[in-house]
Structure 1
Amino acid sequence: MSEAEIKAESVRTVVIAGSANLAIGVAKLVAGLISGSAAMLSEAAHSVADTTTEVLLYLALRRGARPADPRHPFGYGKESYVWAFLAALFTFVVGAGFAITHGVTTILVHEHTGDYLVSYIVLVISFAIESVSLARAVQQVRRESRRWRTAPHTFLRLTADTTVKAVFLEDTAALIGLLLAGVGLGLSQLTGDELYDGLASILIGVLLLVVATILAKSNVSLLVGRAVSERLHREIESELAALPTVDRIDTLMTMLLGPDEILVAAKVDFHNDATGADIEAAAEEAERRLTERYPEIGYVFLDPTRSLPGAGGRARRH
């Protein structure tokens, strides 16, 4: 799959998730107002937060895909993490904040003002729609994990494409939230006590806090400048060390410049008899090998380094 196809797939995943959340959010809001359920209103806030998140993630994909220019020679990939971080903050403040405060209010007031049936209908329909959106995200996660030759859970933990991670986590949280809302409504209807409806609303808020925290930490790490995974680091090092004129790799540093762009910089100890032409040829070969194997590698910089006296030379630094 080409880089353009990968970007297009991420955009489709975000658009599908956003459309589903918008439709579900309206239905939940109507059901919450009719039934008076705190859990349903919290779920409506959850969907509003998710829909806004999808809009911000769409902006992240579009803004981060702009080409490099003289003022930004490495492109705008990191800007996508800014928008993704704002999306996580919105979920944290709006979605979780409303759900928890409304749940506490419901427990204190202990009032229910409407019928339960409409809430159950909306919950079932919402679960079906969210399942379709999650299935789309799971499909992309599996495809991408195969491309990187890693397990899906490892891909989710390490991927620089935070839009895919965000959609997967939000859709998973949405399904769990719907189950919590259903259990809270059912217990409140059976017991006549709105405590359970309020507790369900609070748990939905806590769930949103967890998702927002995970996404915020991931985006902050990428904004600061995260290296590639240890496995990929070793593979890049092996490719460089296999060059005919290379004695050893003294220092290898990598950085994720965006969801699909990697920078590689290395201090390389070449053979003592290597000429300038040999070093230039090795640099070109290194770039060809790495970009051929990993199309996401956009920049390869090699710095020839002289060996220090002694058996071990200078200490390697990663």
Structure 2
Amino acid sequence: MAERGGTSESLLTVVVAGVANLAIAVAKVAAGLISGSAAMLSEGAHSVADTTTEVLLFTALRRGSRPADVEHPFGYGKESYVWAFIAAIFTFVVGAGFSITHGVNTVRGGEHTGEFLVSYLVLAISFLIETVSLARAVRQIRRASRERGISPARFLRGTADTTVKAVFLEDSAALVGISIAAAGLGLSQFTGSEVWDGLASIVIGVLLLVVATTLARSNISLLVGRAVPPPMHDEIHRELSALPTVDRVDTLLTMHLGPDDILVAAKVDFRDEATGADIEAGAEEAERRLVARFPHVRYVFLDPTRTGRP
């Protein structure tokens, strides 16, 4: 099965972010070892965690896009959330854990070699590279939000594509982390105290905790089986209710099966005069309308039900 447009675009976004983070991670770790800066080493751990995350997100997209089979009739879309959840946990444990622990040790008695210039140069270059990666994610988010007629912020809150959300949040956190590391280095250089460098490392760790927790909660919600956002739910309800043979829609259930797949199931009370052929035609028309209106709707199941009558 050919990859769907959204998945292909997300793959490119993840690859761009992964290559950028790999280059940045090597530079930051080298600068951290040369300078002895806790904030630089924390930023190095941050970029290592981000690079590993991109690998896991790439795996999520590839495995989640596999076609349905006999054992998995609805496809493997939800597997992408498993890998994305593992990526969030990795950021939580490795990135945040190292940054906070190393920062605490530095505050308690760390040393700095005084090689500030190398750190500043690496941070400046890293900031530029991260900006390029973030710009790619922002373009995808804006394009997707325009297609849905919603704001980028609302798209981010409700999207089932946790890979693009992860790249956006991680790149944004990286830019903030670089700024924090630079501030910590500057204050340490100005005051001669390594406490500021250590505190910057701790703040970077807390920042990573927030990002990892946000992504983990989003993926857990999707793994459990999250419905579409209320506005989309209401639009689906209106489309079904507008069918000529439908008297009322009694129950409407939706669920994200993956980043690009949505399941719609409804109990529908058809008009009394509707024949079996009319009901079949109505079901086909419902699927046609919903798929045309919402390209991510993959399955539509209608259950003809008599409701609210003696």
Partner residue, 2:45:
45
| Amino acid of the structure 1 residue aligned with 2:250 | D
Q: CA deviation at 1:309?
A: 3.0
Q: State how far apart, in whole Å, the 2-side matches of 1:300 and 1:133 are.
A: 37
TM-score of the superposed pair, with normalisation by structure 2 = 0.98
Q: CA deviation at 1:111?
A: 1.6
Partner residue, 1:176:
176
Partner residue, 2:268:
268
* Contact 2:269–2:305 under 8 Å retained in 1: yes
Q: State how far apart, in whole Å, the 2-side matches of 1:172 and 1:192 are.
A: 30
Q: Which digits, 9 at most, give the CA deviation of each residue in 1:193-237, with x for residues without a partner?
A: 000000000000000000000000000000000000000001100
Partner residue, 2:294:
294
* Contact 2:3–2:65 under 8 Å retained in 1: no
Q: Which digits, 9 at most, give the CA deviation of each residue in 1:118-137, with x for residues without a partner?
A: 00000000000000000000
Q: State how far apart, in whole Å, the 2-side matches of 1:295 and 1:110 are.
A: 56
Moved over 6 A (4+): none
| Amino acid of the structure 1 residue aligned with 2:305 | T
Q: CA deviation at 1:3?
A: 6.8
Q: State how far apart, in whole Å, the 2-side matches of 1:102 and 1:261 are.
A: 42
Q: State how far apart, in whole Å, the 2-side matches of 1:41 and 1:183 are.
A: 15
Q: State how far apart, in whole Å, the 2-side matches of 1:96 and 1:199 are.
A: 13
Q: State how far apart, in whole Å, the 1-side matches of 2:296 and 2:4 are.
A: 11
* Contact 1:34–1:114 under 8 Å retained in 2: no
Q: State how far apart, in whole Å, the 1-side matches of 2:266 and 2:232 are.
A: 14
| Amino acid of the structure 2 residue aligned with 1:31 | A
- What's the % identity of the aligned pairs? 72
* Contact 2:256–2:262 under 8 Å retained in 1: yes
**Is 1:16–2:16 an aligned residue pair?**
yes
| Amino acid of the structure 1 residue aligned with 2:62 | R
Q: State how far apart, in whole Å, the 1-side matches of 2:173 and 2:233 are.
A: 32
* Contact 1:183–1:200 under 8 Å retained in 2: yes
* Contact 1:268–1:302 under 8 Å retained in 2: yes
Partner residue, 1:71:
71
* Contact 1:110–1:193 under 8 Å retained in 2: no
**Is 1:152–2:120 an aligned residue pair?**
no
Q: Judge which range, 292-301 or 164-173, deviates more.
A: 292-301
Q: Which digits, 9 at most, give the CA deviation of each residue in 1:122-164, with x for residues without a partner?
A: 0000000000000000000000111111110010011000000
| Amino acid of the structure 2 residue aligned with 1:86 | I
5+ residue gaps in structure 2? Answer: none
Map 1:64-213 → 2, pairs under 5 A: 64-213=64-213
| Amino acid of the structure 2 residue aligned with 1:49 | A
Q: State how far apart, in whole Å, the 1-side matches of 2:110 and 2:291 are.
A: 62
* Contact 2:127–2:175 under 8 Å retained in 1: yes
TM-score of the superposed pair, with normalisation by structure 1 = 0.96
SS at match of 2:75: coil
The count of residues paired between Structure 1 and Structure 2 equals: 309
Partner residue, 1:224:
224
Q: State how far apart, in whole Å, the 2-side matches of 1:242 and 1:158 are.
A: 26
Partner residue, 1:316:
none
SS at match of 2:4: helix
Q: CA RMSD in A?
A: 1.0
* Contact 1:38–1:102 under 8 Å retained in 2: yes
Q: Which digits, 9 at most, give the CA deviation of each residue in 1:85-129, with x for residues without a partner?
A: 000000000000000000000000132124110000000000000
Partner residue, 2:58:
58
Partner residue, 1:313:
none
